[in-house]
Amino acid sequence: MTDVLHLVDAASLGDLGRYAGRARALDDAGAIRLQASGDVLAAWVGVVQGSGILAEGTVLGLRTFALREPAECDLVVPLGAVTDRTARHDGSGDLAVPPLRALAPWSAVSPPRSGWEPAGEVPGDDLARAARAGLDEVSAAVRERGAAAGFVRDRVWATEVAPGVRAGGAFAAFSLGFLAPGGAVRVFRANRWTRLTAPGGHVLMR
On whether the CB atoms of residues 88 and 112 are closer than 8 A, the answer is no
Expressed as residue numbers, the domain containing 152 is 117-187
Res 52 pLDDT > 90: no
User: Across residues 113-121, what is the average pLDDT?
Assistant: 96
| Of 196, 37, 57, the residue nearest 124 (C-alpha) | 196
Domain at 73, CATH number: 3.10.150.10
Asked whether residue 196 is domain-assigned, the answer is no
CA–CA gap between residue 56 and residue 206 (Å, rounded): 6
Pairing of strands 31-48, 59-78: antiparallel
User: Rounded to two decimals, what is the model's pTM?
Assistant: 0.94
| Of 57, 31, 30, 19, the residue nearest 168 (C-alpha) | 57
Res 90 pLDDT > 90: no
Residues 95 and 144 in one domain: no
Q: 3-state secondary structure string, 122-155?
A: EEHHHHHHHHHHHHHHHHHHHHHHHHHHHHHHHH
CA–CA gap between residue 112 and residue 197 (Å, rounded): 15
Q: Supply the pLDDT for residue 149.
A: 67
Residues 12 and 104 in one domain: yes
pLDDT in tens, 160-177: 999 999 999 999 999 999
152-179 in b/e form (b: 16+ CB < 10 A) is: bbeebbeeebbeebbbbbbbbbbbbbbb
- Residues forming beta bridges with residue 95, ordered by sequence position: 5
Asked whether residue 53 is domain-assigned, the answer is yes
Residues 37 and 55 in one domain: yes
> In Å, what is the CA distance from 59 to each residue of 11, 107, 157?
27, 11, 10
Residues 135 and 175 in one domain: yes
> In Å, what is the CA distance from 159 to each residue of 78, 129, 150, 162, 163?
30, 14, 15, 9, 11
Mean pLDDT of all residues in the chain? 94
Q: Supply the pLDDT for residue 25.
A: 97
Count of domains in the chain? 2
Asked whether residue 39 is domain-assigned, the answer is yes
Residues 95 and 123 in one domain: no
Asked whether residue 103 is domain-assigned, the answer is yes
Q: Supply the pLDDT for residue 38.
A: 96
Q: Which of 66, 85, 108 is the last residue of a domain?
A: 108
Identify which has the larger pLDDT, 182 or 50: 182
Least confident of 17-31, 48-62, 63-77, 179-193: 48-62
Residues 102 and 137 in one domain: no
pLDDT band for position 148 (cuts 50, 70, 90): low
Residues 122 and 90 in one domain: no
| Of 146, 193, 143, 144, the residue nearest 166 (C-alpha) | 193
pLDDT in tens, 4-46: 999 999 999 999 999 999 999 999 999 999 999 999 999 999 9
Q: Supply the pLDDT for residue 147.
A: 62
